[in-house]
Amino acid sequence: MLTEKLVKRLVGELPKKVPIKVYHDHKMLDFIKNLSQMIPMDYEFESENEKELNLPAIEIKGANLFFHTVPRHSDLESFLLALKMSSELEGNLKKSEVKILTFISPLCPNCKQTVDSLNRIAIKHGFEHHILDVTLFPEIAEMKGVYGVPTIIVNKIIIRSALGERYLEKLILSSLKGNYYDYVVHKLERGEIDDLKILEGTEIFAELIAHENFFIRLGAMALIESILKNGGKISKKAKEKIIDMLNHNDGRIREDAIMMLGLIGDKEDISLIERFLGDSNLSEPAKEAIEMIRDRYGD
């Protein structure tokens, strides 16, 4: 609930007025009008939707923050803290092409921490951050594959849990540079394999077959198998990584590599597997892998 006591506790005295732009929604406008009686701010109203998502919004101008909600619960505290952060900025931020979408609900216990962290990350790096209330825009949430909150979407990555700010920042920044290793590990740890299928290239999945965590290894193998079943292909580099694992010092990883080569290999790879037929520990998986290859290509 919006009260002067709450506003003063979270915002205090702002160093300067915060410019606000309200798009399309009159309930959002009424909220800003009431708030402007408690703290100094400049606001304007635009009858059209905000252009990036084509939705109603409250924009904190100069900070690249967009609240697609009427703040009233934990999102109210996040909005007030965002005003404070914006007021303390020196000049406007440079606008980045990166856009973060964070899906929340008003009564979500973990959403405030996530929104506050992402607002700081967005301001720090000049990203555009959109906070969407799934109770107001369920069709957008469904279209984006959101089935719980908080859910964060940045380009090809989707994070479905509240994470520590430093780890969250690391996942976002590394993925923006094309390094998805930590993100893939995070998803495999949580069993969220379906979210990884949009990533291009399979080298990371192959590399993780040698991960120290059994469940990550298992998830990586399941992901490669799923890609193959759905008509996808394993890259040459990924196959080379799996072949290299045939020489791994851990017998469990050698066994996994033999089985994966059985799934992805061709006739020329049979000779690589045959050398394990005399190994008492690996002869059975080697026989099975060779049989899989021969079933695909014939004797």
Q: What would the mean pLDDT of 88-95 be, rounded to a whole number? A: 78
Identify the pLDDT of residue 9. Answer: 86
Percent of the chain with pLDDT over 70: 99
Identify the pLDDT of residue 221. Answer: 94
Answer whether the bond into residue 19 is a cis peptide, omega within 30°. Answer: no
Q: Kindly report the pTM of this predicted structure.
A: 0.91
For the chain, which domains are there? 1-177 (3.40.30.80), 180-299 (1.25.10.10)
Res. 89: pLDDT tops 80: yes
| Average model confidence (pLDDT) across the chain | 94
pLDDT in tens, 150-160: 999 999 999 99
Identify the pLDDT of residue 92. Answer: 67
Read off the pLDDT band of 7 (50, 70, 90). confident
Identify the pLDDT of residue 8. Answer: 86
pLDDT in tens, 35-69: 999 998 999 999 999 999 999 999 999 899 999 99
> What would the two tokens of residue 281 be?
């520990």
Specify burial of residue 25 (Cβ count, 10 A radius: 0-12, 13-18, 19+).
buried
Distances (CA, A) of 15 to 9, 53, 78, 210: 15, 31, 18, 53
Cα separation of 91 and 106, whole Å?
31
- Residue position matching structure tokens 């506003």: 7
Distances (CA, A) of 149 to 109, 120, 135: 9, 19, 11
